[in-house]
Structure 1
Amino acid sequence: MLDPLTLLALAGAGMLAGFVDAIAGGGGMIGVPALLSAGLPPVAALATNKMQSVVGTAMAAATYWRRGFISLKALLPALILTYAGSLVGALVVKQIDITLLDIAVPVALIGIALYFLFAPNLSDADKAARLPFGLFVPVMGLIIGFYDGIFGPGTGSFFTIGFVMLFGLGLTRASGNTKILNLVSNLAALTIFIPAGDVVWPAAIAMAIGQIVGGYIGARTGIRYGAKVIRPLVVVVSIALALRLLFFR
């Protein structure tokens, strides 16, 4: 059993994770270590983190949607394929060798950080899309959703860079659309974790309460300040995730 002080600390970690996740993704690098520190086994920590992060991601996605940064109708095919990709990834993860991702993902995250750091024209203004949104966003959702199901770290960064580079979205719209696809991807994983009894519910509920606050504040901050806060936070989160994967696994 988790004592009240530990649950309070987890709620604080959930609030911080929700704030970071709502703007740039990567809240799992806060949530998972906090749960491991509270004594949860690795699988339970991953499952509980997915459960609590869904709440904050839903709050952030709803906030972006209410402010007009997300079109659910345009994203519907991508939502379906993202869910399917994540579910398949979670089902086959034990059947395939993912050791190559230990190096490939940190390298990709560093590449994303460098792009966001040095690209001169990143802003909240939409640009010309390189690929048709309706046709290729579902493909992106399927691929990144599958990755999230088998591995996970950096999913938000990969969605954001895809929306910016391939589909010309400004950073605030890219962040909002990322939230809704990330939400669906996490829900797919939970269809595996919850029936298996992997979620530690007292910890999940405590962190979810913090996530509601952090996700709302983070989304409002991203909407208010746009590229000025999203751009540097994506850089910081991508580099921090890369370093964690390389040196602290």
Structure 2
Amino acid sequence: MDTWILVLLCIAAFGAGFVDAVVGGGGLIQTPAALVLLPGLPIATIMGSLKIPSFSGTLFAAAQYLRQVKMNWKLLVIMMVLAVPSAFAGSMLLTVVHNDFMKPLLLVVLSIMVVYTYAKKNFGLHRDKSHSDAQQIIYAVLISVTIGFYDGFIGPGTGSFFVLAFIALLGFDFLHASANAKMVNLATNFGSICLFISKGKVIWAIAIPMAICNAAGGFIGAKMAIAKGNKFIRIFFLMVIIGTLARFAYDVITER
């Protein structure tokens, strides 16, 4: 592999780490770059290799959030335990079937997300404490299983889906949603990594340099999100969701 390809992948990894640390969705940058620059590799091998930098970036971002933001450990333990096998199962399915049939559905879901977040001006700016403990646990199980499986099977946009779910279903504000989402995203990445390593789908010569750059982006992104607060994260969230929507729209149109 040419050095310039690895350099471009590392630049993409840094950008992905930064975006992912703020609102999730770093795969929007990292995954297309890898697919374009590594056309000769199987999809499962590319996704497997990208999970390593995704994990490192999320880890460094989570470390920053842990120092500054209060975590809901009661929910997080449940969600992280369930997210690992869910992502493992999604990645296992990815190794035997293609995931393109999901993209038209995601177009609809993402469109709804953009309209709702933009129209509801106070969405995610304040915490909603009206949920009972039982409701939170039910929602936590649902979120971790469904989005965990999605992360293993498709990947891009997972962090954004987690943030949205924490706000819409669990009543978190953007800052606390981003912080808590990082912990669950760590678990989903770990579950996928276990599967991809066991199947020999990780190219370490690509994964390790990208992991270093993704971690640097995650560190900087998390510090900025903490410093700027909910309004900044909300705007960034809308930008990332619109970008993800455009990405899937392009995929659907070009594959027809």
Relative to the length of structure 1, the TM-score reads 0.90
What RMSD, in angstroms, separates the aligned Cα atoms of the two structures?
2.1
2:203 maps to 1:200: yes
Equivalent positions of 1:167-206 (< 5 A) are 167-206=170-209
Change (3 A) 1:163 1:71: same
Q: Is the 8 A contact 2:53 2:215 kept in 1?
A: no
Q: Is the 8 A contact 1:114 1:235 kept in 2?
A: no
Match of 1:22 in 2: 21
Structure 1, residues 53-87: CA drift from partner, whole Å, max 9, x if none? 11001111111112133233431011111112111
* AA in 2 matched with 1:223: I
Instruction: Give the Cα separation in 2 of the matches to 1:198 and 1:114.
Output: 38
Equivalent positions of 1:98-117 (< 5 A) are 100-117=101-118
Q: Is the 8 A contact 1:79 1:138 kept in 2?
A: no
Instruction: Give the Cα separation in 2 of the matches to 1:191 and 1:21.
Output: 21
* AA in 2 matched with 1:26: G
Q: Is the 8 A contact 1:124 1:226 kept in 2?
A: no
Deviation at 1:125, TM superposition (A): 2.7
| Unaligned residue ranges in structure 1 (runs of 5+) | none
Q: Secondary structure of the residue that 1:128 maps to in structure 2?
A: coil
Q: Secondary structure of the residue that 2:201 maps to in structure 1?
A: coil
Deviation at 1:130, TM superposition (A): 4.3
Match of 1:162 in 2: 165
Aligned residues: 248
Structure 1, residues 171-195: CA drift from partner, whole Å, max 9, x if none? 1000111111111111111111112
Structure 1, residues 136-165: CA drift from partner, whole Å, max 9, x if none? 212211121122222223222221111111
2:92 maps to 1:91: yes
Deviation at 1:97, TM superposition (A): 7.9
Identity of aligned residues (%): 33
Deviation at 1:2, TM superposition (A): 4.0
Q: Is the 8 A contact 2:60 2:218 kept in 1?
A: yes
Match of 2:145 in 1: 142
2:60 maps to 1:59: yes
Match of 2:46 in 1: 45
2:17 maps to 1:6: no
After TM superposition, the structure 1 stretch with the greater mean CA deviation from structure 2, 96-105 or 140-149, is 96-105
Instruction: Give the Cα separation in 1 of the matches to 2:181 and 2:171.
Output: 14
Instruction: Give the Cα separation in 1 of the matches to 2:98 and 2:222.
Output: 36
Match of 2:251 in 1: 248
Q: Secondary structure of the residue that 2:178 maps to in structure 1?
A: helix
* AA in 2 matched with 1:214: G
